[in-house]
Structure 1
């Protein structure tokens, strides 16, 4: 066997049958088996994982297994995998995720076509968020300045192996290091000569196991967690000057790793002592590390959370979280038309909290977000710019694989006045989209597709499930439509007749 095109490195620990989906996906790759290798690093498993992997390696020459004493975290297994790898490129996978059939072939082809040091393949998330905006389109020369690369900081990417070795890019070892991906990936972004994003094919399926036994799924320790945040911020500071770019990159950690801990259901479910520790750590980083432009660039809801966190107003954070926990998108299908392989839908959607529309107060021509507490400066809640940029997307999701496709549409936002009180306004988004099932997802449509209306506004991105399911018997075929509004109406009528009897 010559030099493989790709080495897939997989840390494995007590994964049991959860690894089978990954294994099956690797064995059915369109890239020939003699053109890639898989390196499983068994991190001292105490179940039958080691034997399971050894049997796999015995049956498949392109699969090998390393057995090490338990390190307790994926960093050391990944680093050993890099040392063992012979491939031109290295991809880091988790043991309970899986690949699409053409993933390795397409990722490698993209890397070669663009001479890329890093290729990020589109991901589908299951109980885990994935960077939706980054995957809106292909980006063959992406940088931290010209694209939302900073939204993708997990290591599930294709890296040129010589690039990793040239810059000694390795995962931090020594105990359970939360966010171990971040410092490596951010350094790699700054050092990469070219980074490409492949968005027209879903390459990687990323899962949060329901049994909660992903290695990094347990509740974080505030002290070590925020020490890792500071390490990542240090990398940014070493490679940027004070100004808009640094603020935008810092904003990613403020939004995702800091303020996300102090919002909605996550805060409401947190133990009080833990919450106090997190709030204190967040307060210190905001005060010590961030310029005013970091919070200033956030949407108003997150500016409000940052405002309260910086001032240590934990009780008000809890009140705000209680209100935000009720936020949801609501959508309706107003019209449905079909012609051959195409379907045209007209929808309406809005954001509500506890079934009341999210409202804005008119303050001298500004739209000010209405929240359930006082004593927040009006400029913090000024939502005028975000209201103007509010967006409605229509997303088709393939039920069997989790693949999501943005659909082209025309939409407009209607301002409805007075619903939430005198001098107030709320937004209703209306859109029309035509879905061509001969072209959707490159014609790969076999199975069932559901529709979601996705509203992005003032700090939320919320999905409303629409009551339509499209069933395709073969790729590119004319869909059968199941209108669940009719199913529900029939069910409701049947229940009503039974009650009357």
Structure 2
């Protein structure tokens, strides 16, 4: 690796395999990164593609001096091409991208500026999900000194981030190759987060668009083998245990893996839509892992629904897990708009919301815990705490899928013996939202968080901004429906009136008279 004056400031390393036209959005986004010519490079590491990808990459390299291509033997997983690409990368900073994702405009320039300004080893840019989930809480705000203890960094365990190259080299951080192959990015990120002196989160700009292909062609989208997958998770836990981080950081990582990689697979539609034999294997692996590697403290810190599932899995009660999942698929968020107003460029909206099972409000006991249809779901002596119930208000731009949490004043109240209602008043300043980039159409959603659910309910408001920082124009579909109903009534009344008058004239007409 050269340290000469021509060294780029950022290298983008992209593993490729039979990506075809799915590469086009990434290629199209590269010239719009706001970096001067010669200050960045793209290293495509092709993992033995058998389609036209190698030729396409060679053509890109021939036409663009920023592009280099490595042709590798097929390994079957992204770790090997990422490591080989990193070996060849010359940049001061490295970003790992996937071949079917793409960058937001000026993303690399903003990530690099953030890394330089704050002397960061890692910068996490806001991610936009396309048919796949991305962290939400992490991108609530910019964070320029984020740690596992003070921020939900553990929610973002993929490698799609900007890294200081010297930081990776100093600690020998590379993607694990060989078996087990799964969760290779989790293992690298766990080690990276635990060793980084400074991590920044750039939340106010859409940096990376993360895609699940319609054809499910992502290498890692194939259904995992439970034994191999949870062997990989054990390896990730070994990394944490060997590092011996402070308790808060360790618990954040452990609880993240409990929620996302283990218990979420045994809930609701995720469980019911999975092949029964495969789901039984997952339940068995999860049950063993809960007992072997997770302390009671780690489980007790989870929201109540996750605690219930953890206990059922640890006891091997797969039938009860299925029964609970069949009930849980009926749980949804319900929200209504109590009122809204626009003053200048600021929208204020008041919302009432709750959780419902089918058409009925979800029932909670006097401790704020959900009343579940599974008898003795939690063993005697286990105390669960509800806590954290609230309703957030989120705006999402249709054109780009960016979303932002709005500042809210929120309260929670009991209604009768078993019902819980949330009220939130949110404000959106469209002169400042998203750095003033507000041109477009914005949907508004209520996000109800309670007892281990985090569910969205779309509100009947749409906000349109004709220009960045412009005055928001609100469309309330309730008013549109009301006007439509009135118009239908008027048309009906006119039609009925004409019929009545016509009938009257017909009765007055002499027998045999012509029209």
TM-score by length of 2: 0.90
Going from structure 1 to structure 2, the CA distance change for 1:283 and 1:9 (only over 3 Å counts) comes to: same
Aligned to 1:404: 403
Give the C-alpha shift of residue 374 in structure 1.
Answer: 0.6
Where do 5+ consecutive residues of structure 1 fail to align?
418-423
Give the C-alpha shift of residue 303 in structure 1.
Answer: 0.5
Q: Is the 8 A contact 1:470 1:482 kept in 2?
A: yes
Q: Is the 8 A contact 2:440 2:466 kept in 1?
A: yes
Aligned to 1:288: 292
Aligned to 1:298: 302
Aligned to 1:49: 53
Aligned to 1:486: 479
Give 1:430's match in structure 2, choosing from 423, 429, 432: 423
Q: How many residues were matched structurally?
A: 489
Q: Is the 8 A contact 1:72 1:176 kept in 2?
A: no
Cα-to-partner distance string for 1:37-73 (whole Å, 9 max, x where unaligned): 1111122222222222222222211111112122111
The answer to whether structure 1 residue 456 and structure 2 residue 449 are counterparts is yes
Where do 5+ consecutive residues of structure 2 fail to align?
497-515
Q: Is the 8 A contact 1:451 1:469 kept in 2?
A: yes
Give 1:28's match in structure 2, choosing from 17, 23, 32: 32
**Whole-Å Cα distance in 2 between the matches of residues 178 and 494 of structure 1?**
59
**Whole-Å Cα distance in 2 between the matches of residues 184 and 407 of structure 1?**
33
Q: Is the 8 A contact 1:11 1:42 kept in 2?
A: yes
Give the C-alpha shift of residue 246 in structure 1.
Answer: 2.9
Going from structure 1 to structure 2, the CA distance change for 1:381 and 1:95 (only over 3 Å counts) comes to: farther
**Whole-Å Cα distance in 2 between the matches of residues 481 and 215 of structure 1?**
42
Please state whether the residue corresponding to 1:189 is helix, strand or coil. helix
Give 1:310's match in structure 2, choosing from 286, 307, 314: 314
**Whole-Å Cα distance in 2 between the matches of residues 396 and 35 of structure 1?**
35
Aligned to 2:70: 66
**Whole-Å Cα distance in 1 between the matches of residues 463 and 360 of structure 2?**
31
Give the C-alpha shift of residue 249 in structure 1.
Answer: 2.3
The answer to whether structure 1 residue 329 and structure 2 residue 333 are counterparts is yes
Q: Quick check: 238-247 or 120-129, which moved more?
A: 238-247
Q: Is the 8 A contact 1:9 1:91 kept in 2?
A: yes
Please state whether the residue corresponding to 1:316 is helix, strand or coil. helix
Give the C-alpha shift of residue 360 in structure 1.
Answer: 0.9
RMSD after superposition: 2.1
Give 1:359's match in structure 2, choosing from 359, 363, 385: 363
Q: Is the 8 A contact 2:180 2:229 kept in 1?
A: no
Q: Map of 1:34-183 to 2, 5 A cutoff?
A: 34-174=38-178, 177-183=181-187
Going from structure 1 to structure 2, the CA distance change for 1:322 and 1:191 (only over 3 Å counts) comes to: same
Going from structure 1 to structure 2, the CA distance change for 1:242 and 1:139 (only over 3 Å counts) comes to: closer
Give 1:190's match in structure 2, choosing from 189, 194, 204: 194
**Whole-Å Cα distance in 1 between the matches of residues 463 and 369 of structure 2?**
40
Q: Is the 8 A contact 1:150 1:252 kept in 2?
A: yes
The answer to whether structure 1 residue 439 and structure 2 residue 439 are counterparts is no
Cα-to-partner distance string for 1:320-379 (whole Å, 9 max, x where unaligned): 1111111211111121212232222111111112122121123xxx33320011112377
Cα-to-partner distance string for 1:369-416 (whole Å, 9 max, x where unaligned): 200111123778866542xx2121111111111111111121211211
Going from structure 1 to structure 2, the CA distance change for 1:489 and 1:72 (only over 3 Å counts) comes to: farther
**Whole-Å Cα distance in 1 between the matches of residues 25 and 80 of structure 2?**
24
Aligned to 1:421: none
The answer to whether structure 1 residue 238 and structure 2 residue 239 are counterparts is no
**Whole-Å Cα distance in 2 between the matches of residues 74 and 176 of structure 1?**
13
Going from structure 1 to structure 2, the CA distance change for 1:339 and 1:394 (only over 3 Å counts) comes to: same
Q: Is the 8 A contact 1:126 1:208 kept in 2?
A: yes
Give the C-alpha shift of residue 487 in structure 1.
Answer: 3.8
Going from structure 1 to structure 2, the CA distance change for 1:494 and 1:273 (only over 3 Å counts) comes to: farther
Q: Is the 8 A contact 1:171 1:180 kept in 2?
A: yes
Structure with the greater alpha carbon radius of gyration: 2
**Whole-Å Cα distance in 2 between the matches of residues 92 and 243 of structure 1?**
30
**Whole-Å Cα distance in 2 between the matches of residues 182 and 55 of structure 1?**
34
Q: Is the 8 A contact 1:10 1:94 kept in 2?
A: yes
Q: Is the 8 A contact 2:350 2:425 kept in 1?
A: yes
**Whole-Å Cα distance in 2 between the matches of residues 117 and 54 of structure 1?**
32
Going from structure 1 to structure 2, the CA distance change for 1:243 and 1:88 (only over 3 Å counts) comes to: closer
Please state whether the residue corresponding to 1:82 is helix, strand or coil. helix
Aligned to 1:476: 469
